[in-house]
Amino acid sequence: MSAPVVQGWCPGAHRPMMSGDGLVVRVRPRLARLDAEQTLGLCGLAERFGNGTIDLTNRANLQLRGVDEADHEPLLTELAKSNLLDAEPGIEVRRNILVSPLYRKGDLTARLAQELIDRLGELPDLPAKFGFAIDTGPQRLLAGDSADIRLEIGIDGLILRADGAETGRFVAESDAIDHLIRLAAWFAERSTSETRRMTRVVAVHPLPDEWQGSTPGPVGHPLQPGTSDLGPVYGATFGQLPARKLNDLMKSSGAAALRVTPWRLFLLEGGAAIPAPDFVTNATDPLMSTDACPGAPLCPQAQVETREIARALAARVPGSLHISGCSKGCARMSPADITLVGRDGQFDLVKRGRAGDEPSQRGLTAETLMTMDLT
C-alpha cells in the first residue's frame, strides 16, 4: 500500500476536498459563533446536500460531508444567503482564526478578532494551514491548539507571540493587529516549502529580540461538558454532530447561538441545559479522550475502518486513545497513550506517541485488539 498523500491544505467552502463519500465542504464560523438561524440553516443544508452529519474539526470549523459535485454551487449559494461564506475565496483561505470560546460580546477578544477579520487582506501570502489564535481571556485556553501567531494575555498585559517562542512582545490593543501583520510578513520572507509553520521557521531563523521578552499568562482549566457562564456545553463524539439532533437541541434549549471549539465541544449560548442523549454530557465519558478519523471507506487514504473499533476500545484504555486510518494522523496531532494506525487492513500499535511514530507492534487484527491488554 502506498504512503498516504499529505495535501498541505485544508478544505474550504470555495475549494472543497474530495473524499470517499463525496466533497468535504468546510464552513469557518466568524468569532467561533453561528446564531440560531444560521445553525438551523446549516443543519438543513447538511441533510439536503450532505450526509446528514456536521463535523466539528480541531480548528473549530464545521464541515459538511458527502456533497455531490453537482450540488457544490447550489450549496455555496445557500451558504452565502446565511452569511456563512466569504465572497472572496482568498479571504476565506486566510481566515484561519481560533477564538477562545468564552469571550463576551464586545470584549477584547471579540474586538481583536473582528479587527483581524477586517484586515485579512493586508496579510502577505501565507501557507494554507497558517493560523492565528486570539486567546485574550483571563486565562489562556488555546495554548495547546495549533496556531502560528498568538495574541494572548501575558503577565504584564496583552502580548503577541510567535508559536515556538517561549515569550512574546507586549502590544497595545490599538497597534496589536499592525504588529501581527508585521510578524506575518517576517515569517513570509523566511518560509519555504519545507518550513510552512512558524515553529519550524523560528527553529532555523532566530526571532528578533523585539518579538520576545514578555511572558505568557497562566493556562486555564480545559472546558468540559457541563455548564458555563454562557450556557450548557456538550461534547461531540469524534467531532460528529448529527444535523437533525443538533437542530432539535437548538430549538429545545432556546439557545441564541452555537459556539464551537477545537476540542469537540460546543456551547449553546443562552440555552437551557437539557438532556441530550445523542451528545456527550459527562466529562468522564471515555469517548471524550478518544480520537478517530472518518476512516475507510469515507476517506480514500484510510486503510481500516476506525470509529466502530474506537467505540469498542474506548472504555478499555485508561488514558487517551487515537485510532487513525493511516499514518497521517489527521484526527490528533498530539501524542496519545495508545495510537492504532491502519495499515493494509490491520493495525500498528504506538504507545505514548503519534500516528507517524515507530510502532511497538505491527499487523494486529481488530479481533486481537479486543482481547489484548492495551495498558
Q: What is the pLDDT of residues 60-80, one digit of tens each?
A: 999 999 999 999 999 999 999
Give mean pLDDT, residues 125-152. 95
| All structural domains of the chain with their residue ranges | 17-86+227-269, 103-211, 286-371
DSSP state of 353: E
Cα–Cα distances in angstroms (integers) from residue 243 to residues 35, 42, 131, 221, 333, in the given order: 15, 8, 27, 29, 26
Name the CATH superfamily, with its identifier, for domain 17-86+227-269.
Answer: Sulfite Reductase Hemoprotein;Domain 2 (3.90.480.10)
Q: What is the mean pLDDT of the chain?
A: 94
Work out the pLDDT band at 90, boundaries 50, 70, 90: confident
Q: What percent of the chain has pLDDT over 70?
A: 97
How confident is the model over 24-39, as pLDDT tens digits? 999 999 999 999 999 9
Work out the pLDDT band at 123, boundaries 50, 70, 90: very high
Q: What are 75's three cell numbers?
A: 450549496
- Please compute, for residue 244, the number of CA atoms within 13 A of its CA located in the half-sphere on the CB side: 5
Give mean pLDDT, residues 97-110. 96
How confident is the model over 181-199, as pLDDT tens digits? 999 999 999 999 999 999 9
**Separation CA 236–CA 265 (nearest Å):** 6
Give me the residues paired with residue 342 across strands: 347
pLDDT at 4 over 70: no
Give me the pLDDT at residue 28, please.
95
Helix (H, G, I), strand (E, B) or coil at 138: coil
Work out the pLDDT band at 1, boundaries 50, 70, 90: very low
How confident is the model over 251-282, as pLDDT tens digits? 999 999 999 999 999 999 999 999 999 999 99
Structural contact between residues 176 and 159, judged by C-beta atoms closer than 8 angstroms: no
Q: Is 114 exposed, middle or buried (0-12, 13-18, 19+ CB in 10 A)?
A: middle
Give me the pLDDT at residue 270, please.
98
- Top CATH class of 286-371 equals alpha beta
Q: Which of 170, 151, 159 is nearest to 110 (CA)?
A: 151
Helix (H, G, I), strand (E, B) or coil at 111: helix
Work out the pLDDT band at 300, boundaries 50, 70, 90: confident
Cα–Cα distances in angstroms (integers) from residue 200 to residues 88, 130, 329, 358, 363, in the given order: 29, 12, 19, 22, 33
pLDDT at 6 over 70: no
Q: Which amino acid is at 317?
A: V
Task: Give the length of the chain.
Answer: 375
Place of cell 498516504: 4
Peptide bond into 297 cis (omega under 30): yes
Q: Which of 194, 212, 204, 242 is nearest to 53 (CA)?
A: 242
Give mean pLDDT, residues 335-349. 96
Count Cβ atoms below 10 Å from residue 279 Cβ, excluding itself: 21
Contacts of 281 by beta carbon, 8 Å cutoff, 6+ apart = 225, 226, 234, 235, 275
> What is the pTM assigned to this prediction?
0.91
Place of cell 463576551: 104
Give me the pLDDT at residue 3, please.
52
Structural contact between residues 240 and 163, judged by C-beta atoms closer than 8 angstroms: no
